[in-house]
């Protein structure tokens, strides 16, 4: 993969599921998803904001996050050269289905450089659910909530 857009070049995108069995490379609903993007900044002189977005197969924006909304941003793309951008999507957040990763890099929010659908992420449903007739395919986010049922 080598994608260039203005002041940035994407060299590599890796999506790695973190499963109980490290040899299992499938992404399941329960998998943490590690995203690593190797970028190269081609022009110096300003700092950039990075935004990751995940879209569903139907084009619905499922989630979007930016380092700019942190109290203490840990990444500063202010120098030319190669940088590694890493993020982790927690397990038990996404429903099963196909998702696409998009990256925005912006020196200001008026004119972001867009790298759309860099990689697709197929998320599999659990075996116990796949064997049932109960299908929840129109929901994009399915977190595991903490439930408590008590008698009164």
- What's the CA dihedral at 18, 10, 141, 28 to 10 degrees? -30
DSSP label at 141? B
Q: If you compute the radius of gyration of the chain from its CA atoms, what whole number of angstroms results?
A: 18
Helix (H/G/I), strand (E/B), else coil: 132:
coil
Higher pLDDT, 80 or 14: 14
Average pLDDT over every residue of 7-14 = 91
Render pLDDT for 29-87 as a digit per residue (tens, 0 to 9): 999 999 999 999 888 766 778 889 999 999 999 999 887 655 555 456 778 899 898 89
Say how far apart CA 115 and CA 44 lie, in whole Å: 20
Tell me: pLDDT of 19 over 80.
Answer: yes
Model pTM score: 0.82
Band (pLDDT 50/70/90 cuts) for residue 131 is: low
> Between 131 and 64, where is the model more confident?
64
Arithmetic mean of pLDDT, 10-27: 91
Question: What pLDDT is stored for residue 12 in this prediction?
Answer: 94
Q: Pick from 23-27, 33-37, 130-134 the range whose average pLDDT is largest.
A: 33-37
Q: What angle do CA 138, 140, 141 make, to 5 degrees?
A: 130
pLDDT at 142 over 60: yes
pLDDT number for residue 78: 74
pLDDT tens digit sequence for 73-129: 545 677 889 989 889 999 999 989 999 999 988 776 667 788 999 999 999 987 776
């Amino acid at each position: 993969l080598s994608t260039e857009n203005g002041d940035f070049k994407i060299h590599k995108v890796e999506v790695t599921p973190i499963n109980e069995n490290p040899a299992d490379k499938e992404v399941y609903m329960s998998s943490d998803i590690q995203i690593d993007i190797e970028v190269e900044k081609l022009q110096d002189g300003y700092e950039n904001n990075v935004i990751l977005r995940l879209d569903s197969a139907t084009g619905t924006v499922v989630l979007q996050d930016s380092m700019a909304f942190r109290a203490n941003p840990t990444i500063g793309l202010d120098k030319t050269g190669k940088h590694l951008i890493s993020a982790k999507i927690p397990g038990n957040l996404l429903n099963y289905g196909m998702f696409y990763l998009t990256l925005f890099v912006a020196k200001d929010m008026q004119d972001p450089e867009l790298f759309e659908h860099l990689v697709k992420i197929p998320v599999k449903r659990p075996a116990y659910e796949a064997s049932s007739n109960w299908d929840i395919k129109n929901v994009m986010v399915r977190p595991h909530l903490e439930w408590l049922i008590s008698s009164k």
